[in-house]
Amino acid sequence: MKILLTGSTGQVGHELERSLQGLGEVIAVDRGRMDLSNLDQVRDVIRSVRPQLIVNPAAYTAVDKAESEPELAHRINAEAPAAMAAEAKALGAALVHYSTDYVFDGRSPGARVETDTVGPLNVYGASKLAGEQAIAASGVPHLILRTSWVYGMRGKNFLLTMMRLAKERDELRIVDDQHGAPTWSRTIADTTALILAQARAGGQPWWERNSGLYHLASEGRTTWFGFTQAILEETGIDCRLVPITTDQYPLPAPRPQYSVLDTSRLQERFVRLPDWREALRLCVR
Ligand SMILES: NC(=O)C1=CN([C@@H]2O[C@H](COP(=O)(O)OP(=O)(O)OC[C@H]3O[C@@H](n4cnc5c(N)ncnc54)[C@H](OP(=O)(O)O)[C@@H]3O)[C@@H](O)[C@H]2O)C=CC1
Ligand SMILES: Cc1cn([C@H]2C[C@H](O)[C@@H](COP(=O)(O)OP(=O)(O)O[C@H]3O[C@@H](C)C(=O)[C@@H](O)[C@H]3O)O2)c(=O)[nH]c1=O
Ligand SMILES: [Mg+2]
């Protein structure tokens, strides 16, 4: 199987480049080869590579910056995936795509299932939702994997930011009223590969029975404050932590208050997911 992988310089893409190796020939394209803001280039690359599977972790992920660049965010997060879906469909290929807990408004507590009402609060979330909807509407065989609070030992993420800040400062003030599940980039990549491998082992292409939307995040939940406490415990870095409210940390983009994803659908069909705290421990190790 020929697999076209985007975003291999990103957190999830980097892990996927490793995790997908056993499944076929992985052709990784970076921004230089395929710029997602250039839709003609997206189409041209897919037509020349002719993959059987496209895996697309590339995205515009700068949540605050997106508020002042809505058109660019929409092109990368919605129009490019729509173009990938159309090209994949024309080739008879399938598409694996990633989305976010930020498609939800998060106004009430409780974990969200795939069929729950969406209502993004910010430009990033709206652009990601538009991407999901375009793929679903295209009729291409697909997996859309919604994840949350991604971290890892490379790239730009909350774990590395907090490790740096905690070393630099005596005290950190961290929001303690936004609830979610931190998810290790490696969990996402390995789970993706497992789903693809399992489905293939069934003797029929996975999309014949399992095309659709799935929540893929760690088990359990915490707040950004709780996540930071755990980061300090695991890394042994010493710093005073002060819990604050969202109002006390103003940012350009509003964030959902409760965006825990219910992952039962994925776990019942495919594979168990690890607890967030345990995954953090393994990652830091
Ligand atoms: N990060 C998070 O907390 C979460 C992420 N997600 C979703 O998971 C997926 C993976 O995210 P993650 O790995 O964390 O993202 P990263 O921000 O770590 O990586 C983004 C990747 O997209 C690439 N990219 C951005 N713009 C373009 C462009 N115009 N053309 C080509 N490539 C581009 C980047 O390339 P370059 O290095 O050149 O910039 C990079 O490889 C995304 O769909 C994201 O929306 C979902 C929930 C949480
Ligand atoms: C740096 C810092 C942040 N915070 C708060 C701000 C914010 O409410 C929260 C998280 O901040 P960040 O900007 O790192 O996280 P954010 O960019 O909102 O992370 C999101 O990224 C996108 C791509 C997703 O899809 C989401 O799932 C989610 O992971 O932590 C503090 O309270 N204190 C601090 O010192
Ligand atoms: Mg951010």
How many separate domains does the chain show?
1
Q: Please report how many Cα atoms fall inside a 13 Å half-sphere around the Cα of residue 280, on the Cβ side.
A: 27
Does any ligand 2 atom lie closer than 6 A to the CB of residue 249? yes
Q: How far is the CA of 249 from the centre of ligand 3 (A)?
A: 14
Does any ligand 1 atom lie closer than 6 A to the CB of residue 180? no
Per-residue model confidence as pLDDT tens for the chain (285 residues): 999 999 999 999 999 999 999 999 999 999 999 999 999 999 999 999 999 999 999 999 999 999 999 999 999 999 999 999 999 999 999 999 999 999 999 999 999 999 999 999 999 999 999 999 999 999 999 999 999 999 999 999 999 999 999 999 999 999 999 999 999 999 999 999 999 988 666 666 666 678 999 999 999 999 999 999 999 999 999 999 999 999 999 999 999 999 999 999 999 999 999 999 999 999 999
Residue 112 placed within a domain: yes
pTM for the predicted model, two decimal places: 0.97
Residue 229 placed within a domain: no
Are 280 and 182 in contact by the 8 Å Cβ rule? The answer is: yes
Residue 207 placed within a domain: yes
Q: How far is the CA of 6 from the centre of ligand 1 (A)?
A: 9
Mutation test residue for ligand 2: of 255, 257, 258, the one with most atoms within 8 Å of CB: 255
Ligand 2 atom nearest 128 alpha carbon: 25
Does any ligand 1 atom lie closer than 6 A to the CB of residue 128? yes
Does any ligand 1 atom lie closer than 6 A to the CB of residue 58? yes
Which residue range is the domain that position 99 belongs to?
Answer: 2-157+183-220+260-275
Cα 172 to Cα 239: distance, rounded to the nearest angstrom? 7
pLDDT in tens, 65-87: 999 999 999 999 999 999 999 99
Are 61 and 7 in contact by the 8 Å Cβ rule? The answer is: no
CA dihedral of 165, 217, 226, 178, whole degrees rounded to 10: 90
Q: How far is the CA of 44 from the centre of ligand 3 (A)?
A: 31
The domain spanning residue 16 has which CATH number? 3.40.50.720
Asked about 124 being catalytic, the answer comes back as yes
Residue 197 placed within a domain: yes
- The count of other CB atoms within 10 Å of the CB of residue 49 is 18
pLDDT in tens, 189-221: 999 999 998 866 666 666 667 899 999 999 999
Nearest CA to ligand 2 atom 16: 63
Residue 285 placed within a domain: no
Cα 245 to Cα 225: distance, rounded to the nearest angstrom? 10
Whose CA is closest to 98, among 194, 6, 32, 223? Answer: 6
Q: How far is the CA of 240 from the centre of ligand 1 (A)?
A: 31
- Per annotation, catalytic residue among 60, 124, 151, 214: 124
Does any ligand 2 atom lie closer than 6 A to the CB of residue 184? no
Q: How far is the CA of 58 from the centre of ligand 1 (A)?
A: 4
Cα 173 to Cα 242: distance, rounded to the nearest angstrom? 5
pLDDT value of position 207:
65
Share of the chain above pLDDT 70, in %: 96
Ligand 1 atom nearest 149 alpha carbon: 3
